[in-house]
Chains A and B, each alone.
Chain A
Amino acid sequence: MLTLKDLSVDYGPTRVIDSLNLDLQHNEILTLVGPTGCGKSTILQVIAGLIPIAEGEISTAQWLASPQQLIAPEQRRVGMVFQDFALFPHLSVEENICFRVTDPEPALHWLQALGLSTLRNARPDRLSGGQKQRVALARALAHRPAIMLLDEPLSSLDAALKDTLRWEIRDALKEAHIPAIWVTHDQNEALSVGDRLGVLRAGQLEQIDTPEHCFSAPVTPFVARFLGETSFLPARLEGSVAQSALGSVQTISYADLGQEVLIMVRPWDCAIVADTSAGNGQLESSHFEGSTRLYEVLLDDGSRVKVRTKANIALAANSRVTVSVISEQALLAYPANN
């Protein structure tokens, strides 16, 4: 549907996107996630034709854009939902949605489907954040784009609304059979809503895969840290077995490793018991979180590990504890210089 080939984008003298390659499949929702300033919004802007390409090309079945071949935004059939919604303040909800629509019938379908029927004559400044978001989505859908771009569509809404709207948007996109790139900085949103997930770091794709795979097998510690709570422990590798402060553990890796490695330990990979006589670390903090409890332990070699247990296991503060690996799967190992 959409292919980015060796795409680079400059803001003045700085390169914000560097040789990016990306494929968007039919009917697919791809979420792009990354910290602030990683260039994720820039990618959407350049796909929409709102900023110029420095190098490389963007192509769909209908058009191909490159530094030499400029395609105006209005010729790309790309729909965009802006972070600030960008509703035209001088037009009503209906006029916004039907901005350039010749046949209003399918457009009005979205008005109904997104629960906006009663608001069709309202002005945007009378709408709540969630309503504005729905109007922005309806407007983009009503113009029958070939591809939809969503730029942090939920970031200006409150938490309760985020959760329901997330699924409403996904359902609408799937119903319309429109592939989409959905940019967010919220890892929960990124993991739950996309068919595939791309993690961006400083203008480059660190990993792109199904959300499940990105989460369970992150290719770098950066991806692992960004998508969930993780501890990294220094270890010494012998074959596939690593010696760490938690004893010897079975590891696997996606890279060639030296002897010094970091092993990734998720909070539920470990068990923790009180051990006043010996133990391998000291309890530093304990947070009750409702159904579970999160402990942070300072291990005897100076590294720290987080352990999550059931809430009813309560350990005394500052006591000696033994942390042990209980995961049945091999732990991931990364080169130590990460």
Chain B
Amino acid sequence: MSYPLALPIAVLACLPVLVLLWLADTPQAIFQTRNLTLLTNTIMLTGMTALGAVAIGVPLALVTAYVRLPLGKLWLVLLAAPLALPSYIGAFTMFAAFGPGGEIQSLTGLATPAFSGLIGSSIVMALYTYPFVLMTTRSALLNLDVNQLNAARTLGLGVWGCIWRVVLPRIRNSVAAGALLCALYALSDFGTPAILNLDTLTRVIYVEYNAFALGQAALLSLQLLFIVGLVIALESRVAAIPERPGRALSLSPARWQARLIPLMFIPVIGFAVLLPLSIFSLWLWREGGAGFKWDYAFNSLQASLLAALAAAVLALPLAHAALVGRFGRVMERVTYLGFGIPGIVMGTALVYLGLQLAFLYQTLALLVIAYVMRFLPLAVGSTRTALESLEGSLPKAARTLGAGPLEVFRRVSLPLTRRGMIAGMALVFLESMRELPATLLLAPTGFETLATYLWRVYEAGYFGRAAIPGLLLILLSILGLGLMLMGEKRADFAVLNDKEPG
């Protein structure tokens, strides 16, 4: 019965791709030098981000999974925090901190290399995506039975030999799954390459859009979507190796070791979290709230709240349909398209739609539609998990106790799903608050949000004015992180809720 409601939503989710296909210029230009440079840059950034994230994430996963540290959970939350921050915050502050004339030089006099281009972008992206690798790897490590290691030790293998020959082969797929998520993130990110001057597809789509070359932008968007599709296809084929249940390895370090180990966390947390915080604080102290209007925050709030409400309402029939039957699951999958479509691509498609449909042109509604299409999967996911708890015997039990269908809904179904639905709404809200590229393309003239204001400040070179929007965005991200962790705690998996060793 939820199918008729879910079907139009699923069809709408395909719309951006159809619009782009229709809009795109004929692809005569694919093999031109410029296009090849773009593709190379995009793929290099993607690959280097994935490699960097593995280099940071896997050692951290090994330590946080197997070594019992004082304040272990606090470290874990701090190490997961970069994922919650939008990477353009990092790119912006690193860009401003390093290089000739950067904040570090003007404060200390130390000359630091400029932070830009492929290397700079890759470092920033890796710093903000490695938690994907950390989480997938860590949960694989915790599932690994300690007796496999014990067996290897009794067969004469040393600790490093164990990690190399026993542990790594078992967690390979989980590392790969995390790395592919990083790659996906790097592919669709607009802010970082745009701020650090690396010509990737996302950055040039924006350039083409500003030059009113929508056909070119659409063509580039399709190329980007194709690569995204490849990565998603690859990701769906990587499954974690199933492990037999057992106890995970747990090492208790000596006291001096326990004090030294967190030192290896400090550079990561320092660059990804503390640096942006201190740069924004510095600017706030130096320039105060110059140029900032609270209207920007209210605009962000308004658009994001509308998106969250709309997503929650639309998610209900989709989540229900996904539980009812096979076709429902297909429809649910289709709405996941939006999550794979980079914001800049979604923006391009909807800008064109706005040009065709006069009643949507330059309206808040179009921006809200873009948010909903991109972030609907977040709401569908948590609503579906909530509805799943109603499968099985609970409503039946309530019926046999004498409750009618309405009472069952009011006293059992609703209380059990409400939290999940609110959590989904909150996730959509927070993602919308931070969204940059689609907002840049779709916000009505004069409708400045926190994210777009940050971008204008960067473009105009008045970096100091970024202080308040920057700090507000970080604050919001921290809220989002807290919410995600709470959700995971309930869902009984990942970061906070693993069986504590011992």
Contact = CB atoms under 8 A, between A and B. Distances in A.
Contacts of A82: 393, 396-397
A83 B397 CA distance: 11
B7 to A, nearest CB: 25
B28 interface: no
B74 interface: no
A73 B403 CA distance: 8
B396 A143 contact: no
A86 interface: yes
Interface in B395-409: 396-405, 407
Contacts of B405: 72
Nearest to A79: B400
Interface residues of B, number: 19
B401 A100 contact: yes
Contacts of B393: 82-84, 86
B415 interface: yes
Interface range, A side = 20 to 34
Given A88-B412, A90-B416, A72 B392 contact: no
Contacts of A80: 396-397, 400
A99 B415 contact: no
A136 to B, nearest CB: 8
A214 to B, nearest CB: 29
A315 to B, nearest CB: 42
A89 B389 contact: yes
A86 B399 contact: no
Nearest to A145: B400
Chain A binding surface, main DSSP class: loop
B394 interface: yes
Given A84-B392, A86-B392, A89-B389, A74 B399 contact: yes
A129 B242 CA distance: 27
Contacts of A140: 400-401
A216 B287 CA distance: 96
A100 B402 CA distance: 7
Given A86-B394, A89-B416, A73 B389 contact: no
A140 B401 CA distance: 7
Interface in A139-156: 139-140, 143, 145, 149
Contacts of A157: none
B486 to A, nearest CB: 16
A73 B412 contact: no
B412 A74 contact: no
A197 interface: no
A88 B394 contact: yes
A90 to B, nearest CB: 5
A78 interface: yes
Contacts of A143: 401-402
Contacts of B407: 100
A72 B404 contact: yes
Interface string B411-432: 1100110000000000000000
A86 B399 CA distance: 12
Nearest to A76: B400
A245 interface: no
Contacts of B400: 48, 50, 73-74, 76, 78-80, 140, 145, 149
A77 interface: yes
Interface in A45-90: 48-50, 72-74, 76-80, 82-84, 86-90
Given A86-B394, A89-B389, A50 B403 contact: no
B396 A90 contact: no
Sorted from nearest, which 6 A-B pairs have the closest CB atoms? A86-B397, A73-B399, A86-B393, A80-B400, A82-B393, A74-B402
Given A50-B400, A73-B400, A86-B396, 19 more contacts: A48-B400, A49-B399, A73-B396, A74-B401, A74-B404, A76-B400, A79-B401, A80-B397, A86-B394, A86-B397, A88-B398, A88-B412, A88-B416, A89-B389, A90-B416, A99-B401, A100-B401, A100-B402, A139-B401
19 contacts: A48-B399, A50-B399, A72-B405, A74-B399, A74-B401, A74-B403, A74-B404, A80-B396, A80-B397, A83-B393, A84-B393, A86-B394, A88-B394, A88-B398, A89-B416, A99-B398, A100-B402, A100-B403, A140-B401
